[in-house]
Structure 1
Amino acid sequence: MRSFLGKLATLDKNDLTTRETKIAEYIKKNLVMMVETDMKIVTLSHEVGTGYSAIYGLLKKLNIQGYRDFSISLANDADAMTIDVSKDDENVSRSYISMIKHNHSLIDKKMLFDTLNLIKSANRIYVVYWESVLRGAATELTNFFYSEKLPVTLLDSDWDTINQRVADADKEDLFLFYTKYGASTHLAKVIEKIRNKGGKVVFVSGRIPTQQIDKHANLIHTLIIDNVEEGGECAISKSVPFHYFNDLLVYHFQHLKKNN
């Protein structure tokens, strides 16, 4: 992913130290200036009053490989913020466009195709929405799979139903989870049980997964579900990035089908 703001939005703020929080806030407020001046680490260190180690510590938590990669991600963020859309009512349009652009930079395209391969090879597919706000996106994807004559079932987070399906799972089954935050202990245990049964798990979330989920999920897609730009006026529905993810899956599924 080539977006500092995007990565920052997927990290729990409680995971940052006081110094890392100070660095992040400075960057958010001065991002465009940093890009325009090609700010070096020595200048950033001086401006925020911290050593290099605190800056590199923050980058490591965000899976950014070094200061050069960090500079590239800032440039991409600055580019996403320069969309020329008039204010007032069109602030909503600007926020939608910005969110889609940030998610476009965030989503790993190779992992997207790996997900398609799991979908195509599954004997049974379970699309699971963990929060009610994601029911629409999960239903939309389920309906598409059904139209393609794939063996698909839509599930929610109901304890009894989920555990019945997991108990019946085998190594050819695929569970595709949609969740805003993915911090549920119940969810982590469900995913672990699926993997112990030999099933496959694709985890799509608005936050970086917990260590337990990261350990057991086959593939992880982290989406941006919050307005990441400083001073963003509009609160966009958190289901929007999941619909965008659906559209990417559908487009590439149909494209691959057409070429095969």
Structure 2
Amino acid sequence: MRSFLSKLTTIDEKDLTTKEKKIVDYIKNHLKEIVETNMKIERMAQEAGTGYSAIYGLLKKLNIKGFRDFAISLANDAENQDINIAKNDENVVAGYINLIKQNYALTEKRSIFETLNIIKNAHGARIFFCYWENLLSGPAQELFNFFYKEGYNSVLLDSDQEILRDRINSSIENDVFVFYTRYGNSTRLNNFIESIGKFGRKIIYVSGKIASNDITQYLSAIHTLIVDNPDKTIYKGHISNSVPFNYFNDLLIYHYLNSQD
């Protein structure tokens, strides 16, 4: 991804160490200075009051490969801050476009095709589409309806514990579970995912946060979305919670339809 600020929204603040939080605060408060002076890691560590290891630890958590890519992402963030966005209704358009662009940069096509292959191999089995928060019922139902019309044995679920536990226990080989979660990494959700994984079922995880290490081993495909506006200096308005997930749906459906020929 080409944005440090966007990448930052995919990780819970509680997963950052005290030194990593100091680095984040320093970057947010001195972004233009860092970019304009082409600040090196030595000075950044000194100014932020940390060591090199804390900076590299933060980059590793955000899946940023090296200080050079980090510098590029900061330069892009600084450029975005300087953009003079038109007023009134165009602000909303710009906010939507910015959020979708960030998700476009983050989404790996390889992961999309991994998910499509998992779904296609589920013919004859069931695909459970589960929305963990009610605010994602729309996107989950939309994808459920699409694959139902395509002839798949689709089932729509919410986070009801008894029903979900029953579906897990009665699942069969080749069944697939698709989880939509904006916040991710709840203990209850992680426990369900672990149970499904131990049954050997396929799990597709679509979340607004990076999957925790506790469940990664059980996930067959992972899609981490940017769900929050990463830069309040560009757009301070509200963007509907479902927008990134609708974009993911449309991307998945597009590649599904265009891979049928």
Fold match (TM-score > 0.5): yes
Mapped contact 1:6–1:106 kept (Cα < 8 A): no
For 1:84-233, what aligned pairs fall within 5 Å after superposition?
Answer: 85-122=85-122, 123-231=125-233, 232-233=235-236
Q: What amino acid does structure 1 have at the position aligned with 2:237?
A: C
How far, CA to CA, are the matches of 2:79 and 2:182 in structure 1? 26
SS in 1 for 2:188: helix
1:236 is aligned to 2:239: yes
Aligned partner of residue 217 in structure 2, secondary structure:
helix
1:248 aligns with 2:254: no
Secondary structure in 2 matching 1:177: strand
Greater alpha carbon shift after TM alignment, 62-71 vs 109-118: 62-71
CA 69–188 in structure 1, closer or farther in 2 if over 3 Å, else same: same
Specify the code of the residue in structure 2 equivalent to 1:74: L
* Superposed CA offset, 1:187-217 (max 9, x none): 1121112122221000111111222222211
How far 1:22 moved relative to its partner?
2.0
Q: Is the CA contact (8 Å cut-off) linking 1:5 and 1:229 kept in structure 2?
A: yes
Q: Measure, in 1, the Cα distance between the counterparts of 2:251 and 2:162.
A: 32
Given that 1:170 and 1:198 are in contact with CA atoms closer than 8 Å, whether structure 2 keeps it comes out as no
Match of 2:39 in 1: 39
- How far did 1:184 drift? 2.2
Equivalent residue number for residue 55 of structure 1: 55
Inter-partner Cα distance in structure 2 for 1:138 and 1:85: 33
CA RMSD of aligned residues (A): 1.9
Q: Is the 8 A contact 1:29 1:230 kept in 2?
A: no
Over 3 Å counting, the alpha-carbon distance change for 1:196 and 1:46 in structure 2 is closer
Compute the displacement of 1:66 (Å): 1.4
Any stretches of 5+ residues in structure 1 without a counterpart? none
Structure 1 stretches of 4+ moved >4 Å = 78-84
Q: Which runs of 5+ in 2 are unaligned?
A: none
Stretch deviating more after TM superposition (21-30 or 92-101): 21-30
Q: Which 10-residue stretch deviates more, 115-124 or 55-64?
A: 55-64
Q: How many percent identity over aligned positions? A: 53
Q: How many Å apart are 1:83 and its aligned residue?
A: 5.4
> Cα gap change, 1:32/1:120 in structure 2, threshold over 3 Å: closer, same or farther?
farther
Report the residue type matching 2:63 in the other structure: N
- Which AA in structure 1 matches 2:115? T
Q: Deviations 1:207-241 (Å, cap 9, x if unpaired)?
A: 11222222211111111111111434112122111
Distance 1:38 1:171 in 2: 54
**Structure 2 length-normalised TM:** 0.91
Q: How many residues align?
A: 258
CA distance in structure 2 between the partners assigned to 1:42 and 1:198 by the alignment: 47
8 Å CA contact 1:28–1:229 kept in 2: the answer is: no
In structure 2, distance between residues paired with 1:82 and 1:171: 53
The AA in structure 2 aligned to 1:59 is L
Aligned to 2:23: 23
